């Protein structure tokens, strides 16, 4: 029985990765939930918006690196991030102008809007693949670790190391800033309040003189920013590959639905619920249990509930369970 | 069929003829065969979306299940595989199903509250560990059986034609399970759920090596009944004599004959599916479906059983997709789980239905032929376009190589542009619903 080592192992392999992943999912889910609240459809292009924004950020990161600009210990990508956000926002506003606005005026059924967003997905996907290719790209630079496993072992004298990657710390810090800024915006500014009013009751909001086109435009800009930030953080933490970003749709949607579509608080909670379930179900608990249990009971197998290949099954199961038993999500989003 | 529709079909036929005359008949026929398969898949989507408005974006999963059924039905039995772990696998799977069944029964029987939640969680967890305890060693044993060549459970060695309806049945069974849980959901939730199901089906097929060797693939699946092997044809004296009399190249001719045989077989299936779908669409059942699609509330008020009809149509459409998926695997002669991608197997089929005209069976068929031809032809067109654009650039320049490599990615962009243009300017498709 070695509680301390068990805790450190747990923190190193489960808690810290899940917190970082959860923050990335939460920022992604915030974008999905905002679009759902204001424009009232599930945006299938969100994953590819993330990929698009990340791609632009990567291109500018490379450019900065070639000019010798760096951000000290932090990744250069953070310097390129604002440019990525602006260009993605412009692109997304363009798609709204050319594509979505027409259907909004016609007030078409939700499913038509979803199919339209699929069309946008293909175009963004093609552009991304055309510009940067389908291969995996690593663009993280700067310090790799805040605390490295070896340092931790040397300082504490424990058998297990605890590593905190700088990308994980950056993810968490950025997430806190982004969420704080977003909530300040939604709750304190005039535009944010008009967005919430529009989301709660469109007709009433229109009657009180809110300009719908402005609300929609602001929503797209915020969504583009959130998608780019989520994409860059995910890419820094793991790596960038366009198809992976399309597949992230499932956990992100699951996070948004678990929290309750249309509810920003819910999206954040949902992100962490999904991330923790995914990591905990696919983690091999052998080592942790080995420390916790007496030697005679220590497991020989990996004690892994599902292999990581089935991580989609985790988000999916949670999604279905929530939809069946609590369709409005944990935080009372829009009803089904 | 109006003359306008006939003209549209004729125009698509001309596309295939042009390919035949200017490129090769071999190419034209192989595009045609996959086009027929795609048209059948599009019929499946049309049954779900066009008749009933069900938003299923898990087509890839059902097509892959059809392919899996081909392996399990028509590949040869593997020596020793069943003895190694067959009963354990079956028992494990049954235990898994029983656990879920017990949990559902408990959910229905017990009073809502903490005891129920606790019991169900206990049953599910206990069942899961029991299932893994029975299933895992059996699966490992099967995978250890001659892993170089097999390592899978093997098939029944039945004829390929039997495997196609089996593909439909397997897809239908999966659709029943999914429909039971997810069909009550609103349209975009159903879309997300089916998208996830399809990814899970592919993940299972990639990772469960005992089932169909996973990414190591199963090859040399048998041909369906009238289709000969090219090698056999080339060695048969009557065929060589016949080819010689007409002055045909025996190798090329044999491959064309094989493709023609497939085309005939596939066309028969397509016509049967179209005929049945047309009958269904015109029957009271079809009218009920459309009534539900157009106004669920009023249909329910008229006493129509909306959930039941939805489940029916979901199963039927998925079964059609499963049959088409099985046909495709037989045509390829191999099952390659790694090659299934949603862009190709789900969204391309959706495009066929939307471009062709959702709600109209002939529209789905036309869309299947047209979009498949375009899908194959867009890449050479993109290469040609990029070749023209980059013609003036210096050889080996960075931009030139990049643009030429990028031609492969013309497909998604073209697909997106066509989809958006059709939705905007011709939302009812080429052959609109009557």
Query: Given B181, B188, B406, which is nearest A324 (Cβ)?
Result: B181
In chain A, residues with a C-beta closer than 8 Å to the C-beta of B350 are 115, 118
Q: What is the mean pLDDT of residues B370-386?
A: 86
SS3 label, residue B372: helix
User: So what's the pLDDT on residue B348?
Assistant: 92
User: What is the C-alpha to C-alpha distance for residues A29 and A217, in angstroms, rounded to an integer?
Assistant: 19
Cβ pair A126:B196 closer than 8 A: no
Looking at beta carbons, which pairs linking B419-427 to residues 24 or more positions away fall under 8 Å? B419/A115, B419/A118, B419/A119, B419/A122, B419/B351, B419/B354, B419/B355, B420/A99, B420/A116, B420/A119, B420/A120, B420/A123, B422/B354, B422/B355, B423/A112, B423/A115, B423/A116, B423/A119, B423/B354, B424/A99, B424/A102, B427/A112
User: What is the C-alpha to C-alpha distance for residues B299 and B290, in angstroms, rounded to an integer?
Assistant: 9
If phi over 0 gives left and psi between -120 and 50 gives alpha, with beta otherwise, what is residue B26? alpha
Minimal C-alpha gap between B266 and chain A (Å)? 29
pLDDT digits (tens, 9 = 90+) for B173-196: 999 999 988 887 777 788 888 988
Measured in degrees and rounded to the nearest 5, phi and psi for residue A302 equal -75, -20
- Reading the block at residue A142, the tokens are 């700067």
CA-CA-CA-CA dihedral for A179, A183, A186, A188, to nearest 10: -140
**What is chain A's pLDDT, residue by residue, as a tens digit (336 residues)?**
688 888 888 999 999 999 999 999 999 999 999 999 888 888 999 999 999 999 999 999 999 999 888 888 888 999 999 999 999 999 999 999 999 999 988 888 888 898 999 999 999 999 998 888 888 888 888 888 888 888 888 888 888 888 899 999 999 999 999 999 999 999 999 999 999 988 888 888 889 888 989 999 999 999 999 999 999 999 999 899 988 898 898 899 999 988 888 888 899 999 999 999 999 998 888 888 888 888 787 777 778 888 888 888 888 888 888 877 887 788 866 543
Least confident of A21-25, B54-58, B82-86: B82-86
Cβ pair A118:B193 closer than 8 A: no
User: What is the C-alpha to C-alpha distance for residues B81 and B257, in angstroms, rounded to an integer?
Assistant: 37
In chain B, residues with a C-beta closer than 8 Å to the C-beta of A135 are none
In chain B, residues with a C-beta closer than 8 Å to the C-beta of A324 are 181
- Answer for the pair B184, B314: CB distance below 8 angstroms, yes or no: no
In chain A, residues with a C-beta closer than 8 Å to the C-beta of B343 are 122, 125
pLDDT at B108 over 80: yes
Place of tokens 């072992």: A153
User: What is the C-alpha to C-alpha distance for residues B302 and B307, in angstroms, rounded to an integer?
Assistant: 14
Minimal C-alpha gap between B156 and chain A (Å)? 28
Calculate the alpha carbon distances from B414 to A50, B59, B205 in Å: 21, 21, 30
Cβ pair B409:A129 closer than 8 A: yes
User: So what's the pLDDT on residue A336?
Assistant: 38
Q: What is the mean pLDDT of residues B52-81?
A: 91
- Answer for the pair A133, A56: CB distance below 8 angstroms, yes or no: no
Measured in degrees and rounded to the nearest 5, phi and psi for residue B159 equal -60, 150
Give the residue from chain A lying closest to B347, CA to CA.
A118
User: What is the C-alpha to C-alpha distance for residues B116 and B404, in angstroms, rounded to an integer?
Assistant: 62
* A240 contact partners, CB below 8 Å, separation of at least 6: A51, A54, A55, A58, A136, A137, A138, A139, A231
Indicate which of A52, A323, A328, A335 best probes the interface with B, i.e. most B CBs within 10 Å of its own CB. A323
- In 3D space, the residue among A130, A46, A57, A61 whose CA is nearest the CA of residue A92 turns out to be A46
Residues in chain A: 336
User: So what's the pLDDT on residue B70?
Assistant: 94
User: So what's the pLDDT on residue B145?
Assistant: 83
Minimal C-alpha gap between A302 and chain B (Å)? 13
Crossing angle, helix A264-282 and helix A249-259, to 10 degrees?
A: 120
Minimal C-alpha gap between A333 and chain B (Å)? 14
- The ipTM of this complex is 0.87
Indicate which of B181, B185, B343, B416 best probes the interface with A, i.e. most A CBs within 10 Å of its own CB. B416
User: So what's the pLDDT on residue A333?
Assistant: 62
Q: What is the mean pLDDT of residues B251-280?
A: 93
Domains detected in chain A: 2-325 (1.10.3470)
- In 3D space, the residue among B13, B18, B56 whose CA is nearest the CA of residue B35 turns out to be B13
Minimal C-alpha gap between A47 and chain B (Å)? 13
Indicate which of A115, A312, A318 best probes the interface with B, i.e. most B CBs within 10 Å of its own CB. A115
User: What is the C-alpha to C-alpha distance for residues B57 and B426, in angstroms, rounded to an integer?
Assistant: 22
Place of tokens 């560990």: B129
Query: Given A119, A313, A336, which is nearest B423 (Cβ)?
Result: A119
Measured in degrees and rounded to the nearest 5, phi and psi for residue A71 equal -115, 35
User: What is the C-alpha to C-alpha distance for residues B149 and B141, in angstroms, rounded to an integer?
Assistant: 15
- Answer for the pair B325, B40: CB distance below 8 angstroms, yes or no: no
User: What is the C-alpha to C-alpha distance for residues A120 and A134, in angstroms, rounded to an integer?
Assistant: 18
Instruction: Render the burial of A32-45: b for 16+ CB within 10 Å, e for the rest.
Output: bbbbbbbbbbbbbb
- Answer for the pair B414, B340: CB distance below 8 angstroms, yes or no: no
Minimal C-alpha gap between A293 and chain B (Å)? 19
pLDDT digits (tens, 9 = 90+) for B9-31: 999 999 999 999 998 899 999 99
Cβ pair A115:B423 closer than 8 A: yes
Least confident of A205-209, B150-154, B371-375: B150-154
Give the residue from chain B lying closest to A323, CA to CA.
B185
């Amino acid at each position: 029985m070695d509680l301390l080592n068990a805790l450190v192992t747990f923190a190193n392999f489960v808690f810290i990765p899940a917190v970082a992943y959860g923050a990335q999912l939460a920022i992604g889910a915030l974008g999905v939930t905002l679009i759902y609240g204001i424009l009232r459809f599930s945006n299938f292009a969100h994953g590819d918006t993330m990929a698009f924004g990340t791609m632009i950020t990567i291109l500018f990161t490379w450019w900065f690196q070639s000019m010798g600009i760096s951000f000290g210990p932090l990744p250069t990508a953070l310097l390129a991030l604002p440019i990525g956000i602006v260009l993605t926002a412009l692109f997304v506003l363009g798609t709204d102008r050319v594509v979505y606005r027409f259907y909004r005026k016609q007030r078409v059924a939700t499913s038509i809007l979803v199919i339209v967003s699929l069309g946008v997905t293909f175009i963004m996907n093609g552009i991304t693949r055309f510009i940067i290719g389908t291969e995996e790209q690593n663009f993280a630079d700067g310090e790799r670790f805040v605390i490295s496993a070896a340092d931790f072992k040397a300082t504490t004298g424990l058998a297990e190391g605890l590593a905190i990657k700088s990308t994980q710390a950056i993810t968490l810090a950025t997430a806190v800033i982004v969420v704080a800024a977003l909530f300040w915006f939604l709750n304190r500014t005039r535009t944010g309040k008009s967005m919430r009013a529009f989301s709660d009751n469109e007709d009433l909001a229109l009657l009180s003189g809110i300009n719908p086109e402005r609300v929609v435009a602001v929503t797209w800009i915020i969504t583009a920013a959130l998608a780019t930030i989520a994409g860059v953080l995910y890419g820094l933490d793991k790596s960038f590959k366009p198809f992976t970003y399309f597949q992230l749709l499932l956990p992100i949607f699951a996070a948004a639905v678990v929290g309750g579509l249309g509810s920003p608080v819910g999206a954040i909670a949902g992100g962490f619920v999904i991330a923790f379930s995914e990591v905990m179900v696919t983690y091999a608990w052998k080592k942790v249990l080995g420390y916790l249990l007496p030697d005679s009971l220590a497991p020989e197998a990996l004690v892994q509930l599902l292999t990581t290949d089935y991580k989609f099954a985790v988000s999916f199961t949670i999604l279905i369970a929530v939809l069946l038993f609590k369709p409005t999500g944990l935080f009372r989003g829009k009803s089904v | 069929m109006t003359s306008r529709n006939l003209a549209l079909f004729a125009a698509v036929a001309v596309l295939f003829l042009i390919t035949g005359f200017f490129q090769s008949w071999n190419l034209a026929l192989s595009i045609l065969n996959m086009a027929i398969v795609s048209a059948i898949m599009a019929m499946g989507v049309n049954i779900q979306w066009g008749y009933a408005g069900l938003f299923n974006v898990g087509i890839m999963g059902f097509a892959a299940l059809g392919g899996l059924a081909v392996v399990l039905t028509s590949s040869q039995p593997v020596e020793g595989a069943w003895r190694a772990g067959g009963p354990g696998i079956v028992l494990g799977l049954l235990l898994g199903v029983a656990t879920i069944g017990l949990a559902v029964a408990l959910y229905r029987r017990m009073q809502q509250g903490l005891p129920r939640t606790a019991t169900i969680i206990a049953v599910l967890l206990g069942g899961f560990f029991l299932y893994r305890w029975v299933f895992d060693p059996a699966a490992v044993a099967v995978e250890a059986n001659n892993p170089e060549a097999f390592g899978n459970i093997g098939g029944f060695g039945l004829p390929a034609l039997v495997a196609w309806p089996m593909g439909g049945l397997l897809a239908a069974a999966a659709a029943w399970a999914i429909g039971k849980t997810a069909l009550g959901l609103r349209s975009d939730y159903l879309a997300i759920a089916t998208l996830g199901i399809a990814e899970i089906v592919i993940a299972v097929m990639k990772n469960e090596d005992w089932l169909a060797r996973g990414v190591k693939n199963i090859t040399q699946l048998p041909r369906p009944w009238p289709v000969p092997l090219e090698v056999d044809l080339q060695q048969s004296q009557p065929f060589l004599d016949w080819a010689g009399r007409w002055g045909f190249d025996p190798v090329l001719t044999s491959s064309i004959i094989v493709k023609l045989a497939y085309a005939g077989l596939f066309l028969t299936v397509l016509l049967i599916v179209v005929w049945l779908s047309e009958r269904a669409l015109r029957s009271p059942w079809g009218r009920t479906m459309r009534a539900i699609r157009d106004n669920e509330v009023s249909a329910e008020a008229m006493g129509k059983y909306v959930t039941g009809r939805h489940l029916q149509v979901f199963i039927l459409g998925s079964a059609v997709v499963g049959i088409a998926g099985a046909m495709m695997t037989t045509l390829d002669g191999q099952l390659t789980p790694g090659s299934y991608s949603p862009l190709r197997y789900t969204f391309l089929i959706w495009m066929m239905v939307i471009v062709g005209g959702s709600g109209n069976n002939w529209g789905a068929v036309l869309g299947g032929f047209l979009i498949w031809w375009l899908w194959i032809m867009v890449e050479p067109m993109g290469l040609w376009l990029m070749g023209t654009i980059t013609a003036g650039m210096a050889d080996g320049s960075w931009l030139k190589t990049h643009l030429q490599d990028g031609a492969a990615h013309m497909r998604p962009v073209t697909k997106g542009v066509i989809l958006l243009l059709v939705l905007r300017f011709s939302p009812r498709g080429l052959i609109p619903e009557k």
